[in-house]
Structure 1
Amino acid sequence: MKMVSVLLVSLWLSMVTLGRGSERCDDWGVDTMKQIQIYDGEPAKIKCPLFETFLKYNYSTAHSAGLTLIWYRIAQDRDLEEPINYRLPDNHISKDKDTLWFWPALLNDTGNYTCMLRNTTYCSKVAFPLEVVPKDQHSCVSHSIKPTEEMFYLEHANQKITCPDIDGFYPASVTPTVKWYLNCNSVDGFYERYPQGPRLVIGIVRSAYKGNYTCIVTFKDHGRTYNLTRTVKMKVVGSPNKALPPQFTSPNEKVVYELEAGEDLILPCEVFFTFLKDSRTEVWWTIDGRNTDDITDPKIKVTQSEITRDFEDKTVIRTLTVAKATAEELKRNYTCHARNAKGEERSQAVVRVKVVAPKYTVELACGLGATILLVVVLIVIYHVYWLEMVLFYRAHFGTDETILDGKEYDVYVSYARNAEEEEFVLLTLRGVLENEFGYKLCIFDRDSLPGGSEYLTGGCAPCTSSLLFSEVLNIDCNEPIQILFWFFSLSLLMNFF
């Protein structure tokens, strides 16, 4: 009885252990990075991602250790996970080791697929989404399926595009038919491109040849014809033979950053990199030899952006900003460095402190402008009123030049013998010159006596004794009409003022 009890307890413990072991399972969730897209009506195969990403051993090792691979499926718009039944008569899905085959894939095969590796004590599983996609109308492909991308070096000869992922679909003894298309246009007769079965040979790689190349492989299996559609995106990149070290656009010695203390210092470092496959491109700033990544000053910020050029060349722009830089910070050494597989280069930014003009510059400029304006106004006034100014000066500050000249009269006046001129001379002209300015006029009919010297000389002698009109007005005493003209003008000016 004791022996039976011990056996029952041992069996119960082992069952509990097995039950607990079977309940534990390493669930890796849904691997969205492994999303697979296949064409409707075409054969397809998918491998369990466990052995490629999550586990350290392959399917053969796991199978030898007694682990079994089981496939489950959650159909689209459903929540229930069901095991895949491969034994149905009309089933088009089969399993071969770690690979699930579709002969062919249909639209209702879309869903989440789970592969589980387990035994009585171990379990590990991962799920991934599978999407069956129809081709676009009037197109050889579907734009929702991202093509495989391959790089080809510019001007390299005899490059080949190989139709991808077609191995294993047909026996090696079967020779399929392969047709090539560029953007769904047949490649037959294309210049410098030659189809050779599952390969497309490109004589010389040119930039105009880039695009999506599609191969459609046709073969027969068990009396049924299948198609495989694959697309390769050809990217034309720069040749490694022409690759260069980093090329600086800025900073350079021709560009000077001149700022006042307190302004934001913004230094862009623009570097051009030629394409180099698997080459790291690095750009960084140093301040007085220290990398900005090692400086914790909150005033210092660094941002970076990239611009992709033709043939996968690129320009990296790394901008250094020093907020409200002081005069001492503007005097520091700011150097940009760049590096790729071809070498390392550097370029220093030329930063200077702007000399601030004195604050009274505006006042000086205004004073100088006002002075110039005053001089111009005075010149204009003198030019217009110079005669009045000379007369005013002689009347108030000048010396009487006629006192010692021995002459009795200052001005001799001669006029026509008519009432109008006689009225002007005796009333207006005499009144202005004698009464207002104090000059002595020799008027022929009034002051010249018959037989006198004034009568005999014609009145010129008294006039030449005065320097007023001969020098200032620049008149000729032998021209009485000119004298009358100037006196008439002078009288009008006096009346005006």
Structure 2
Amino acid sequence: MHLGQLPLTLLVLMLRGTSETCTSRPHINAVEGEPFFLKYCPLSPVHEPSTTKWFKASESDGKVELRSSSSPRITLHDYVLEFWPVELDDSGSYVFQRGNDTHDWKMNVIRRSKHSCFTERQVTSKTVEVGKALQVDCSHSYYQDLVHRTALYKNCEKIENNKNPSLKKNAEFKDQGYYTCMFFLHHNGKLFNVTSTYNITIVEDRSTIIPAILGPKIEHVEVELGTDVQLNCSAWLNEKDYIYWSFHRKDGQDPNEHEGEEIKIRTSEGKWHASRILRIENINKKNLNFSYNCTVSSDKGPDTKRFILLTKGRGDIPGHVFTRGMVTALVISGGILCLVIAGVIYRIDLALFYRHFTGRDETLTGNQYRDAGVSYPMVLLGNLIKKH
């Protein structure tokens, strides 16, 4: 490491050690009756000597400088302004000033709850998945050296523990609740307490899913006798779930049925995918129309898929029958069409044939114009004679 890098490294380490106690948020809340502090951390080291000043600003009084003599509850430590304790009338705007560096905060003091060991507006929420690490560490980065005793409470009931109470375990649903770390500290002969409360919510493991086999619940597979087939069953599942085949008959398992090993992988998204193959060799009639069941077993419940083998082409019309049927239909259709065309062209001859065949003469019925072969031309001839 170059010597020129040493000051920068020391500055980074110094800022890292103090960043946890710096008051960086512009709007902050404090609880009535508890010790509280405001701390300014400069972004760069200060080389020139200068005077540090703290002010409280209000619309009525303007900016008023704070001194240790201003109130027995206020203590000034260069970059730190302490309240022992903070009260409701301490709400307002505070300004830090050192040379050209200034920083301001707006502080809101919340009334302390008389019926609870914590104030709901000063609660930090944490969500923990069941079975994962649950940790409540009762330590205070600023007041730790002044702490005389520490106690841990759950829903305002004390948890008996050693002198450094903490909670570290695998989360269970019964662990859900409000955990309050209470720090007891002495200052100027008086005993104060500072609280830190966490609302712990226990939820289902987000990585746990309801397993599901891919594809339809029933799959028909067309096969030919004497050939081989592979039935592939795959599913989304959890790490401890597994896939298995069930295809037992009353007369025992067919020796041509072989179940493969389960193949399980974890995707880049953290999901588990598994597959298992059932190989059926030299297919015979016993393998047809039989349910091969693939099941994924899980604490969330099973999921099953059925595979049924059918003879290839079952239910379809054979090719030679289909061809003969089409030819016959075309011939019959062509014959009917020819008869219709012939009837249109030779309709007069057909009428005469009909009269001859039935032995009837429409002209004898009193309607002399019904003779399709003679009467109609005679009518045309009579009309022409009348016109001339």
TM over 0.5: no
In which range does the TM-score fall when normalised by the shorter chain? 0.3 to 0.5
| Structure of higher CA gyration radius | 1
TM-score relative to the length of structure 2: 0.44
TM-score relative to the length of structure 1: 0.35
Structure number having the greater helix percentage? 1
Structure number having the greater strand percentage? 2
